[in-house]
Each structure stands twice: as structure tokens, then as C-alpha cells.
Structure 1
């Protein structure tokens, strides 16, 4: 488990990708900035990624779909932009995802009725005014009114 990375304001180092035995990455309430390194996709033992309430920005890397053990991805309350990678549909154990309170937009690919992941998702949260998400279990409006 890798946590307690708070009160640091630099970008996440790409060298995190070398920690292939880590099964949980938790970074919350920190001033981390920059983008998520694509090298996180090398951390194939990760089951849980929780990056919440940081200054992280940019696109969600498609390389996260390489983490085949990933069960939960919570990117709540950051400054991520763009769309949600369709490649996340290929994660066999993916059951929980939170994308709310970001600058994301487009259509939620995890709602694709033709894929098998849809039946496995237990929790899916997004800003439903910016992200078309008919299968979300929780929708947020302006980052505060979540229901």
C-alpha cells in the first residue's frame, strides 16, 4: 500500500511506475500538481487508485487500462479534463469509479450497454451535466449537489 503522500506540491514522479508490487495508491487532500504519469499503467498489481482533492490536471491516461487488477478508480475533485478513456471497459475487475468534480466532458464510455463491464459496476459517479452518464449511480451538479 502506498499512501500518505500529502502536503507535497510537486508533480507525481514517473518513477512510481517502478513500484509494481504496490496494490493501493492513495493521494488525498494534497497540493500535488501536474498530470498523472502514464507510467502508472506499469503498476499492474494496483487494485485501488484514489486520487482526490488535489491539483492534478490534464487527461486521464489510457495506460490505466493496463492495470488489469484494478477494482476501484476514484479521481474525485481534481482538475482532470477531456474524456474518460474507453479502454477502461477492458478491466475485468473494475467495480467502482468516481470522476465527479473535474473538468471532464463527453459521454461516459462505461455506460456502453454492449460491454460486460456495465453489469459489474457497483458505483459510478460523474458530473452528469458535463458528462452524459445514463448509468451513473450518483450524479453531481456544480461539484456539490451529488445524488
Structure 2
């Protein structure tokens, strides 16, 4: 198992297209605890297409800098301890086909900017007790696969 925080130096790997670090204990660092396990430097990985960080112990909010990853097609952060609202900047990831954020601690409503993701085919935000409201209109052909269980009121 890999443990500790994701290093900020990951941002130096600007040509990296895929990163698979799932099923570890990333985010658990008792010596150097941080509020947000995902460093803002991830926004420098502008060639990134696939990011798998599911089944870790990542916590805190998603950095708004993720909106800079305009080549991103698949973002999988399920089974973590991510919290707070989803950044509206996710709406800038127009090539995104799959966004998996289920089994976290996310709160608030889904950003309406997600309706800009016309390539989206899978949106899964199930089992985030704090998410509420409606799914933004995702008018695509074929229709996307949803995995939501949002509360009705925010």
C-alpha cells in the first residue's frame, strides 16, 4: 500500500496522460496532516486523460484547478473521504466521458456547469449523504448513465 499525501511534485509531470493509484491509503499521513489531500498542482497536468484515485483515504475538497485538465476523459475518485461542494470548474472538462465520485462525503448541489459536459456518458455520485437538489440537464445522445441518490432539498 502507498500511504501519505500525494506529492505536489506530481504537477511537474506535465506530459503524463494516465495515473492509476487506486486501492491504497493515500491521504493518510499522521506526521504531515493536510486539510485537502489533492494538491492544487494536479491542475498542471494538462495532458492528463485518465485519473484513477479511487479506494484511498483522500479528504477535503476537490481543487478548482482540476478545471484546467481540459484533456480529462475519466475522473474516478470514488470510495474516499472527499467533502464540501463540487467546484463549478468541473464544467470546463468538456471531453469528460465518466465522472465517478460515489461513496464520498460531498455536500451541496451538483454544479449546473456540469450541463456543459456534452461528452459525459457516466455520472455517478451515489452515496454522498450531503449532496442534494436536482441533476443538471445533461442533454446528450445517447442519454448518460446516472448513478445518483440526491436528497431533494439543499
How high is the TM-score relative to the length of structure 2? 0.78
Runs of 5+ unmatched residues, structure 2: 28-33, 137-144
Partner of 1:145: none
Deviations 1:122-144 (A, max 9, x none): 00001365323525701369xxx
- Counterparts of 1:1-147 in structure 2, within 5 Å, are 7-33=1-27, 35-109=37-111, 111-112=112-113, 115-117=115-117, 119-127=118-126, 129-132=129-132, 133-134=134-135, 137-139=146-148
| RMSD (CA atoms) | 2.0
Which 4+ stretches in 1 moved above 6 angstroms? none
Q: Distance in 2 between matches of 1:130 and 1:60?
A: 15
| CA contact 2:100–2:124 (8 Å) conserved in 1 | yes
Q: Kindly provide the CA deviation profile for residues 22-80 of structure 1, in whole angstroms up to 9, marking residues without a partner as x.
A: 10111111011151010010011000111111011010001011111011111100000
For residues 120 and 90 of structure 2, the distance between their equivalents in structure 1, rounded to whole angstroms, comes to 12
CA contact (8 A) 1:101 1:140 kept: no
Bigger proportion of residues as strand = 1
CA deviation after TM superposition for structure 1 residue 112, in Å: 4.9
**Residue aligning to 2:30:** none
Residues 9/140 of structure 1: CA separation in 2 closer, same or farther (3 Å cut): farther
| Residues in 2 aligned to 1:30 and 1:11: alpha-carbon distance in whole angstroms | 11
Equivalent-residue separation in structure 2 for 1:9 and 1:112 (angstroms): 34
How far, CA to CA, are the matches of 1:77 and 1:138 in structure 2?
14
Task: Work out the CA distance in 2 between the residues paired with 1:134 and 1:140.
Answer: 10
